[in-house]
Amino acid sequence: MDKTLCRYHPAQPATWQCLPCERSFGDCCIPLNADAPDELPVCPLCNVQLQFLGAANTAQPFWERIPSFFLYGLQGGPMTFAVLLALASLFMPQSLILWGCLFSVATKYFHSVIEASCQAGSQAPSLLSAFSPEGFSLFFRQLVVFAIAFGALWLAADFNSEALYWAVTLGILLAMPASIIRLALDKELGAALSPDQVGQVMRAMGWRYLILCAFLFILWQSPGWVTHMLSSGLPRVVLVPIAAFLFAYFGVVMCAMMGYAVFQYQGALGYVIADENGQASYPTAEYQRRRALAQAEIRLKEGQSGQALETLAAALERNDHDIRLNERFHQLLFGLRERSRCLRHLSHYLPLAARLNPSLAATALLNARQLQADYLPEDAQVCEVVAEALLQRHKTREALSLLRNLHQRFPSYPHIPRAYLLAARGFAEGLGQVEPAQKLLTFILTRYPQSPLLVEVRALQTTLAKLTTQA
């Protein structure tokens, strides 16, 4: 089964689907409203309610999670279960009824592990859940499945053909995990025995089902190998509980792996299971902001730039101080060469960006100059901040044009000395023009003798003086 991806972000797995317009969306495009968790999201294009795809496309493959299954078996629930089995193997009397009860508890516990891990839960079920009275019939159903499997093996052994015997063994080994998964999911004997239903599990996983089988086979054999290695010299009284303990532990690991395989292949198996961590959802204001940004991007990628603009304009009406929304709106207007609208928006956007993100303001100013060559912000502070950001980008001429005649354009601006010191540095360092820099410094010294920046002004003056004498 191939993963479905977000139509607009091919690196993101799809989590939602719109049936009418046949588009898949990732979480990237569909933010959720934390203040209205029951509200189902709608398609950004046709406004129809979206279908949730669950974690089918986001799930990590089970073969990349092998260590986590071994850790899973080390939790409190599985450990008590393993200890219980070990103790029972030592102390329980030889009573068929008692052993039958123990096996049913064990089967129930294994099945609850499969169920829990097919929700991708990292918490193992507690052992107590295996003692609850409901669901014991599951044990009998599992028993029937095992009995049929053993019956088939027994029959095959009767035929005196090694090839037939191995064929049947292999067939059972291959079918068993799928059958157990089917029983855990549907709780019906019919489903666990139906070749069609069991085959569906295999088809859903494809050749990767073989990886699952191989791992399960290794795990199934491990308790035997370990006890075989230990068996030299150890007495029965030690060996039997160790074997029982390992059987329980590896059983839980196997079930956790099978359960997770269901989680991973839920789409192909016809289930919808959300990730334990759930999807990110946001408070209403943030949700609206993200939705507007995502919708505008989708509209733009669909070639509907007009609608993209309107989406952003509507979002800006609610929240006109959001820098991201403003930036997207500006870039879109500029990209579409909507000259007058872009310039009008700049009178709002430029002061905002100068305050929150001068680098964005510098970009916006360079854009503005392309639309109107003599564009100047209407605020002295904005001019100074943007000029500084432009100087950092080595856009010296553009920066200096913002500072030219600042004292005449904004006579009441209190930071003229600071702005002119910046301009002097621009002339000297950016353009290598010492003379205009010196003029500016002299201007500061004569016009603003009270300025706290005089020390810096004199220092720069001295440096420039040295430069001219050397030259």
The residues of the shown chain that bind Zn ion, judged by CB under 5 A, are: 6, 8-9, 18, 21, 26, 28-29, 43, 45-46
CA distance 414 to 357: 22
Question: CB of residue 279 vs Zn ion: minimum separation in angstroms?
Answer: 13
Question: CB of residue 22 vs Zn ion: minimum separation in angstroms?
Answer: 8
CA distance 14 to 21: 15
Give the residue from 351, 353, 355, 303 showing the smallest Cα distance to 328: 353
Nearer to Zn ion, 20 or 306 (CB): 20
Give the CA distances from residue 2 to residues 65, 266, 275, 324, in Å, rounded to whole numbers and listed in that order.
19, 13, 19, 35
CA distance 112 to 127: 10
Nearer to Zn ion, 51 or 222 (CB): 51
Helices 416-425, 454-470: inter-axial angle, 10-degree rounding:
20
Question: CB of residue 256 vs Zn ion: minimum separation in angstroms?
Answer: 32
Nearer to Zn ion, 47 or 408 (CB): 47
Question: CB of residue 56 vs Zn ion: minimum separation in angstroms?
Answer: 16
CA distance 382 to 154: 88
Question: CB of residue 346 vs Zn ion: minimum separation in angstroms?
Answer: 29
Nearer to Zn ion, 43 or 181 (CB): 43
E strand or H helix at 24: strand 23-25
Nearer to Zn ion, 42 or 157 (CB): 42
Question: CB of residue 53 vs Zn ion: minimum separation in angstroms?
Answer: 13
Strands 281-282 and 32-33 turn out to be parallel
Question: CB of residue 4 vs Zn ion: minimum separation in angstroms?
Answer: 12
DSSP annotation of 6: -
Strands 281-282 and 23-25 turn out to be unpaired
Strands 32-33 and 16-18 turn out to be unpaired
Question: CB of residue 31 vs Zn ion: minimum separation in angstroms?
Answer: 11
The contacts of residue 217 (CB under 8 Å, 6+ apart) are 173
CA distance 115 to 121: 9
- Beta bridge partners, 282, equal 33
Nearer to Zn ion, 21 or 87 (CB): 21
Give the residue from 378, 393, 292 showing the smallest Cα distance to 44: 292
Nearer to Zn ion, 28 or 238 (CB): 28
CA distance 365 to 373: 10
CA distance 342 to 326: 11
Nearer to Zn ion, 42 or 239 (CB): 42
Nearer to Zn ion, 21 or 155 (CB): 21
Question: CB of residue 15 vs Zn ion: minimum separation in angstroms?
Answer: 9
The length of the chain in residues reads 471
E-state strands within 254-374: 281-282
